[in-house]
Amino acid sequence: MKIVSQNFAHGGVQGVYTIDSTFCQCEMTFAVYLPPQAKDGPCPVLWYLSGLTCNHSNVMDKGEYRKMAAELGLIIVCPDTSPRGDGVPDELTNWQMGKGAGFYLNATEEPWSQYYQMESHIMDELPKVIKDHFPVDMDRQGVFGHSMGGHGALTLALKNPDTFKSCTAFAPIAQPMTADWSRPALEAYLGPDESKWRAYDATALIEDGAKFSEILVDQGEADNFLENGLRPWLLEEACKTAGIPLTLRMHPNYDHSYFFISSFMDDHLKWHKERL
Amino acid sequence: MKIVSQNFAHGGVQGVYTIDSTFCQCEMTFAVYLPPQAKDGPCPVLWYLSGLTCNHSNVMDKGEYRKMAAELGLIIVCPDTSPRGDGVPDELTNWQMGKGAGFYLNATEEPWSQYYQMESHIMDELPKVIKDHFPVDMDRQGVFGHSMGGHGALTLALKNPDTFKSCTAFAPIAQPMTADWSRPALEAYLGPDESKWRAYDATALIEDGAKFSEILVDQGEADNFLENGLRPWLLEEACKTAGIPLTLRMHPNYDHSYFFISSFMDDHLKWHKERL
């Protein structure tokens, strides 16, 4: 692990680090915030997964998570959203595919499969690095995210309820299999057999029997992507049928931006802390 | 005034606006955060002046001021740091001069004087726009800023104690007349007669008799610019001699970044609210 930067913030340390990723076949960057409590012993760790076009830095700059994380003693890990570098396949004119759009899955189709192994990067590779280098209590992990990262948080939590004790999302893509902005990516990464997409779709996972203790979702009503891209009511319906407790909060006037995320960040951190 | 963007945030509205500036002879951009209380009547207004290389957006993105401003009912105005546009003189390879480095002064020397009238832009032009378009109580104004903007906040407050009821600064340039990174700019903007620089130097203003009720300064001890560029002890000495109450807080480990600013933002907002 290489240190890119470390800045003192709210009594803790906001760091940016890189590793040579075996799964993504490139150098992968991630941010870690250590609260002041990390000096005294292991802290619970909360994974934040970002949305389309973002990397590790957007939420680090605009998410406003440090003050409350410092108060609650939470370590916040913010991975990147895709492999990076000149050799990595991309669609330069399409922000919904390729770099910045890894969708937290393991691609099976060429040319993506060699690099786009984000699920393994996040679930297998990064946790080992985090465990080796930071004072984390790996028995107390939560996951949350925004938009594509909300999809990532929901699907990874539903598939790994023993790893993640808590899960929340800001404006998640509730059903990527049927949303215009994610269907093409799923097909490109996973091939035409839609049955294989179900492992990367929160509502499909729930329909197929996945369970989670409790989920919080915040959604802005002025979000331009609400009707076609996000559709939290599909998650609500699936959770209701499956008996998964979902707290879905609709917020008038809020859009899809970090202004929305940061407005409810403290609520999410408190939610996780209470369950970790 | 044109609206560039408006986003709901922490129950209020973070806006970005432009005006055609008479003083700066160009379109000038600024950010205004309206807290929820602004719906019900006039609120006090706090001017945040940014540092070298910044524009209105840096503190808007990274300053973490909205949550506390919403709690306290403060309107936050964030102007740009210089004139902008293709026609505006600049020194492209020098970040301490020209665009992004207006030093909150009115230039008297060619070619700068036609555009670089930042003091008038902030003290005369923008207040009228703010007063006309937002529910502000102009009898309750405070000013704060970072680095070059801390210099701006101190000098404007010292020169306008009837306008500003409160003044704080993060890592301000205490004595720009004698600091390596600001002397060349003062000479270029104001000419070689150093007596004319004294109106734009907080310690010189205090030596020359300017007064202010009370000042708060936060400074990181790991700030790379501390020894040569910032030197808060010069301000401390001047305030002590003049009998101006200064609270200077030195913070181990903190650097010059927005990670530092955001860590103490709440303290500054509370300081201003108590005095406005």
CB contacts of A220 in chain B (<8 Å) are 8
List the catalytic residues of A: 147, 223, 256
- Model confidence at A41, pLDDT cuts 50, 70, 90, reads very high
Q: Shortest CB distance from A14 goes to which of B10, B64, B259?
A: B259
Give the closest-approach CA distance of A66 to chain B in angstroms.
Answer: 8
How high is the pLDDT of residue B222?
98
Q: Could you tell me the strand order of the sheet in which A246-251 lies?
A: A2-9, A12-21, A26-34, A75-79, A43-49, A136-146, A164-170, A215-220, A246-251
Give the closest-approach CA distance of B147 to chain A in angstroms.
Answer: 17
Listed in sequence order, the DSSP H helices in A41-147 are 56-62, 66-72, 118-120, 126-133
Give the closest-approach CA distance of A167 to chain B in angstroms.
Answer: 22
How high is the pLDDT of residue A200?
98
Phi, psi (rounded to 5 degrees) for A194: -65, -20
Taking the C-alpha atoms of residue A199 and residue A182, their distance in angstroms, rounded to an integer, is: 14
Q: Shortest CB distance from A263 goes to which of B9, B254, B266?
A: B9
Taking the C-alpha atoms of residue A129 and residue B52, their distance in angstroms, rounded to an integer, is: 37
Give pLDDT < 50 ranges for chain B: none
How high is the pLDDT of residue A67?
98
Q: Where are the beta strands (DSSP E) in chain B?
A: 2-9, 12-21, 26-34, 43-49, 75-79, 136-146, 164-170, 215-220, 246-251
Q: Which helix (H) or strand (E) is A47 found in, with range? A: strand A43-49
Mean pLDDT on A170-195: 98
Residue B223 structural domain: 2-275
How many CB atoms within 10 Å of residue A173? Answer: 31
Q: Which residue in chain B is spatially nearest to A9 when comparing CA positions? A: B259
Residue B105: give its domain's CATH number. 3.40.50.1820
Give the closest-approach CA distance of A206 to chain B in angstroms.
Answer: 32
Taking the C-alpha atoms of residue B4 and residue B49, their distance in angstroms, rounded to an integer, is: 20
Peptide bond into B111 cis (omega under 30): yes
Mean pLDDT of chain A: 98
CB contacts of A259 in chain B (<8 Å) are 7-9, 14, 66
Q: Could you tell me the strand order of the sheet in which B215-220 lies?
A: B2-9, B12-21, B26-34, B75-79, B43-49, B136-146, B164-170, B215-220, B246-251
- Are the C-beta atoms of A116 and A105 separated by less than 8 Å? yes
**How do beta strands B12-21 and B2-9 pair?**
antiparallel
Q: Which residue in chain B is spatially nearest to A252 when comparing CA positions? A: B8
Taking the C-alpha atoms of residue B44 and residue B138, their distance in angstroms, rounded to an integer, is: 7
Best to test chain B binding among A4, A5, A7 (most B CBs inside 10 Å): A7
B interface with A, Cβ–Cβ < 8 A, is 7-11, 14, 61-62, 64, 66-67, 220, 222, 253-255, 257-260, 262-263, 266
How high is the pLDDT of residue A175?
98
Q: Shortest CB distance from A259 goes to which of B7, B220, B255?
A: B7
Q: Shortest CB distance from B259 goes to which of A7, A260, A266?
A: A7
Are A262 and B61 an interchain contact pair (Cβ–Cβ within 8 Å)? no
How high is the pLDDT of residue B87?
93
**ipTM over 0.90 threshold:** yes
Mean pLDDT on A182-199: 98
Are B220 and A8 an interchain contact pair (Cβ–Cβ within 8 Å)? yes
How high is the pLDDT of residue B236?
98
Q: How many residues does chain A have?
A: 276
Q: Shortest CB distance from A9 goes to which of B7, B262, B266?
A: B262
Size of the A and B interface in Cβ pairs below 8 Å:
65
Mean pLDDT on A16-21: 98
CB contacts of A254 in chain B (<8 Å) are 8
The answer to whether residue B256 is catalytic is yes
Taking the C-alpha atoms of residue B27 and residue A196, their distance in angstroms, rounded to an integer, is: 53
Give me the catalytic one of B147, B151, B166, B268.
B147
Are B67 and A62 an interchain contact pair (Cβ–Cβ within 8 Å)? no
How high is the pLDDT of residue B143?
98
Best to test chain B binding among A5, A6, A8 (most B CBs inside 10 Å): A8
Are A9 and B263 an interchain contact pair (Cβ–Cβ within 8 Å)? yes
- Are the C-beta atoms of B46 and B141 separated by less than 8 Å? yes
Tally of domains within chain B: 1
Give the closest-approach CA distance of A253 to chain B in angstroms.
Answer: 6
Of A234, A90, A253, which Cα lies nearest the Cα of A150?
A: A234
Place of tokens 């003044």: B167
Q: Shortest CB distance from A259 goes to which of B9, B222, B254?
A: B9
How high is the pLDDT of residue A196?
98
Classify B191 in phi/psi space as left (phi over 0), alpha (psi -120 to 50) or beta: left
Q: Residues A216-245: pLDDT tens digits?
A: 999 999 999 999 999 999 999 999 999 999
How high is the pLDDT of residue A110?
96
Taking the C-alpha atoms of residue B66 and residue B148, their distance in angstroms, rounded to an integer, is: 22
Are B255 and A66 an interchain contact pair (Cβ–Cβ within 8 Å)? no
How high is the pLDDT of residue B99?
97
Query: Which amino acid is located at A124 in the chain?
Result: D
- Are the C-beta atoms of B251 and B260 separated by less than 8 Å? yes
* Exposed/middle/buried for residue A216 (C-beta within 10 Å: 0-12, 13-18, 19+): buried
